[in-house]
Chains A and B, each alone.
Chain A
Amino acid sequence: MFKSSGGERVMEIVNNILLLLIAVTMLFPFLYIFSVSFSSISDVLNSDFLLWPKDWVTDAYTYILGSDQFIRSLWVTVYVTVVGTFINLVFTSTMAYSLTRNIIGQRLILFLVLFTILFSAGMIPTYIIVKETGLLNSLWALIIPVAISPFNLIIMTQFFKGIPEELTEAALIDGANDIQIFSKVILPLSKPALAAFGLFYAVGHWNSYFSGVLYLNDPAKWPIQVILRQIVIVNEPNAALGGHAAMVEALPPPETVQMAAILLATLPILIVYPFLQKHFAKGVMLGSVKG
C-alpha cells in the first residue's frame, strides 16, 4: 500500500525472528515427544537430549495399540466430544437467545447464572446430583452436568444482543414464529460464534478427565485422558509421607510408551484445531465493532 521506511523493515525482521523463536519454543515439546515415542528405550535413557530418533522403533505404538483399551477409550472421547459439543451448543445458544428476549424473570435467571460463576457447588454436591439423577456410570454424566458453561452463555447473550433488532422484527412481520426466527435468522448469522464456542467446548470435553474418574465406575467407559493419566503418572506413591511400604508397586511404563500415548491422545484435537481456529477471534469479538 505504502512504501515502508528502513526502520519499519528492521522492525518487521526483528518481529518475524521473535515470532519464529516463540513458534519454535511451542513446537519443541511436540518434536521431543514425537522423537522419544519413536526411539528405543536405551536411546532415550542414554541421551540427555533427543531431537530426532536415531533409529525408528515403533515398539511403543505396537504396545499401546495392541490393547483394546486405548482405542476404545479414544472412541469414548470422540463420542463424548461430538455429542457433548452438540448438546452444549444447542443448550447454550437457545438459552442465550431467550435471555435476549423480553421474558419474565429474565434478570433473575441471569442472576442465577452469574451466581454459579461466583459460587460453584463443589465436588460432593455435584456428585450427589449426578448419583440421584441416575447418571452414575453412564457417559451422559460427562455431558449433562456441563451442558451449559455460564461464562460462555453470558458472552453468547452479548453476541446475540449485537444482532440488530430490525432483523427480528422484519422476520416477525413476514410471519415467522420464535423458533423460525432463531433457526433461520439468528443462527445463520452466528456461525462464527458457534464455531468459537464449539471449539471451547470440544477442547474442554477432550481434555476432561476427573469427571471420568469420578462418575464412571467401569474402566471400559473411561475417556482417553483417564487412560493417559494411568499410563503416564499412575502410582505415584508419596513414599516420604506414607512410610516404607508405599514403594514400587508397579512403575509407570517406559518413557517411550508414555510419549506415544500423549501424542496419540493429543493428535486428533490438534488436527481439528486449525480448522476452527480461524473463527476464533472473529466469533468472540463479533458484536463489538464490525469491519
Chain B
Amino acid sequence: MKNKHLIISFLLLFLSFMLVACTDENTGEKETDKENETAGETEKAPDTKVDPFDHSEKYTITGMTFRFGDPPPLSSPGLDLINERFNVDYKPEIIPQGDYVEKSSAIVASGSMPDLVGFQAGDTRFYQWAEDGAFLPLDDYLSHYVTLGKIPDYIYNSFKVNGKIYGIPRYSQPFPLTPIIRKDWLDKLGLEVPTNYEELEEIAIAFTKEDPDGNGKADTYGVAIGENINPNFNMGTYWDFNAWYHQNDNGDFIPGIISDGRKELVQFFANLYKEGAMTKDFAVLDWASTNNEFYSGKAGIFVGGVSGMSQEYFEGLLSINPDAELVAIPPFEAPDKSKGFTMGSGNSGILALNANLAEDEGKIYRALELVDFGKTYFPAEEKNPQNADFDFYLGKEGTGYNMENGLPVQVPTFSSDGLSPSTYFLDNREQVPEDAAINYADSYTLPELKEMTVSLQEMFESNQMYIDPSHGVLSQTNQEKGTDLMQFLINEQSKMIAGQRPVSDWDALVEEYLAKGGEAIIKETNEGIKAKGYTEREWK
C-alpha cells in the first residue's frame, strides 16, 4: 500500500514537471510559427523594394514599455489620432515601471513578444535576448528617418551586439546630477561654498550643530542621503562610483566603486555619520523620503540636475523657508589634478524591434516611423499650435493642451484620459540634437528654480566632462553577476558608513569583489574598451 502511494506521488511529480516544461517551450515555438505564417500571407513580394513611407497598407503594431507615472487607457482620442495618422492599429501596452521587469518577462515567456519592446537603461535582458536572436538588426533602416538617422553613432554603439545595432536609445541629457547646497544657510553661518571634501565636511557639521535656520532648535543637519548610498555626492569623476576612470597597476580601467576616490568618499560619509551630519536612517530611506528630508528644510546638502526637478517640492521648501536659496557646488580638484563631472551615457532606456518583423519590411518601416515620430524634437519656438506636428503630438490645442503665456500646458487628465498621442509613443522622450542650444531653465516657471538651473547649466558648460570608456562595452560576467556584485559592494560600503565595518577593511572588500567575479568584469570590460580603440582618458 505504502509503496503504491510512493510510486503514484513520484509519477505525478514527474508528470507535472513535464507539463510545466512543455507549456513553457512549446507555446513559444507555436506562437512564432503562427506569426510567421500570417506574416507570410500579408507579405506582398519580399524581393521588391518597399517604399518606407507608403501608408496604403494598414498594419497592426504592438508594443510594450515601462512608464513612470500613470499609464493611459487602451482606447482614447489620443490613440485614435495615431491610428488615423499612421494608418495602423496600434496596440501599445504601457506598464508601471516598478512591475515592468516581471510582467514583460511573463509576456515574453508566454510566447507573445510584441513588435516593439522597451527596456530600462542597463537592463541586461536586452543584450541577452539580442544575442539569442530575438531582435531585428536595425542598421539598414535607421538612415531613412529624420530623428533616428541623426542620433550619433557613439550612442548607437552602446546597443550593438555582435556588430549590429539592435536598440534605439531613449534620450537623456548629458549632464549628471550634482551636489547642491543651501546658500542661505552658508551665508547665515558666514561660510563659503566648499572647494574640497574637508570643507564640505566642516559645513555639514556646522549645518548640524550651529542652527543655520536660526529657529533655536537643533532640527537641521548636513547631507540628505538615502538607501544604496544614493545620491552619491561625487564632486567630480574621480569620486564617481559609476565611472570607469581609475586605473589599476596594469593600466586597466577599474570601476569607480572600488577606486581610491570611492574609499575617500566612504570615509567622508563615515565621518559625517559619526557626527550626525547626514541622514541617520539612510540605509532604509527610499528616494521620495530622501527628497523630503531636503525639501522640508531639514538637510542642507542634496543633489540637483538641469532637468527633471520637481517644482512642487521646491515650492514646498519655499513655503517653509521663504529665504531658501540653492546653488550648485563646483567640482573639486581631485588628487590627480583632474576636475569635472562624468558625462551621462546618452540613454535612459532602450527600444528594440521583434525579429519576427523581418518577414514584413513594410511593417518594419511603419513601426520605425512611429518610433521616429515619438522622438521628434521641437525647438521652443515651434512648440505651438501653428506647428501641425506638435499640435498633433500633444492632442490638438483645446483638447490635449492649452497655450498659456505662449507656452503649451497639457490638461491635467491628458495621460489618464489618453488625450494626447504623446503618451502612447513607447519612447516619448524628445531626442535633442547635438547642436541644439537648450536653455534648461525654460521648462520651469518658478523664478528660484530657474535661477538654480541656470547656475547648474553654466557650471557644467564651463567645466570638462569625462567620457566614460565603458559605455556600450559588454561584459558577459557583468551581465550575469554585475547587479548582485554592485549591490554587495553598496551594502558593505553602507556598513562602513554606519560604522559596522571599519573603512580600514577597504582592501579586503576590494579583494572579495575581485574574487566574486570583479576580476572577470574588469578583464572583459577592458578588452571591450581596447577594441573600441580607447587608450587614454578622454574629456569633452
Contact = CB atoms under 8 A, between A and B. Distances in A.
B531 to A, nearest CB: 22
A196 B90 CA distance: 46
Given A124-B110, A128-B23, A236 B74 contact: no
A123 B24 CA distance: 12
A121 B106 CA distance: 13
Given A45-B297, A234-B98, A67 B413 contact: yes
B380 interface: no
Given A240-B232, A242-B122, 9 more contacts: A128-B111, A131-B110, A234-B97, A235-B98, A239-B287, A243-B242, A245-B347, A246-B120, A250-B310
Nearest to B93: A217
Contact of A127 (B73, B109, B229, B286): B109
A254 B312 contact: yes
A243 B122 CA distance: 8
Given A123-B102, A244-B344, A128 B110 contact: yes
Contacts of B68: 234-235, 237, 249-250
Contacts of B387: none
A218 interface: yes
The secondary structure that dominates the A interface is helix
Contacts of B316: 41-42, 45, 254
Interface of B: 8-9, 12-13, 16, 20, 23-24, 27, 68-74, 93, 95-99, 102-103, 105-107, 109-112, 120-122, 172, 176-177, 219, 227-232, 242, 286-288, 291-292, 295-297, 305, 308-310, 312-313, 316, 319-320, 342, 344-345, 347-348, 413, 416, 483, 486-487, 490
Nearest to A108: B8
Contacts, number: 167
Contact of B106 (A112, A127, A233, A235): A127
Residue among B95, B103, B112, B344 having the largest count of chain A Cβ atoms under 10 Å: B103
B287 A111 contact: no
A235 B20 contact: no
Contacts of A124: 24, 105-106, 109-110
A220 B74 contact: yes
B16 A45 contact: no
Contacts of A137: 74
A245 B172 contact: yes
Interface in A107-124: 108, 111-112, 115, 119, 121-124
Contacts of A42: 316, 319-320
Contact of A242 (B99, B120, B219, B286): B120
A115 B9 CA distance: 9
Contact of B69 (A132, A220, A241, A250): A250
Contacts of A238: 228
A65 to B, nearest CB: 14
Nearest to B122: A242
A5 to B, nearest CB: 48
Given A45-B297, A213-B95, A236-B98, A243 B288 contact: no
Counting chain A residues whose Cβ lies within 8 A of the other chain, the interface size class is 35 or more
A251 B69 CA distance: 9
B296 A45 contact: yes
B70 A45 contact: no
Contacts of B313: 251
Interface string A125-168: 10111011000010000000000000000000000000000000
A246 B320 contact: no
Contact of A123 (B8, B106, B297): B106
A229 B288 CA distance: 14
A45 B313 CA distance: 11
Contacts of B9: 111
Interface in A237-291: 237-252, 254-255
A91 B316 CA distance: 53
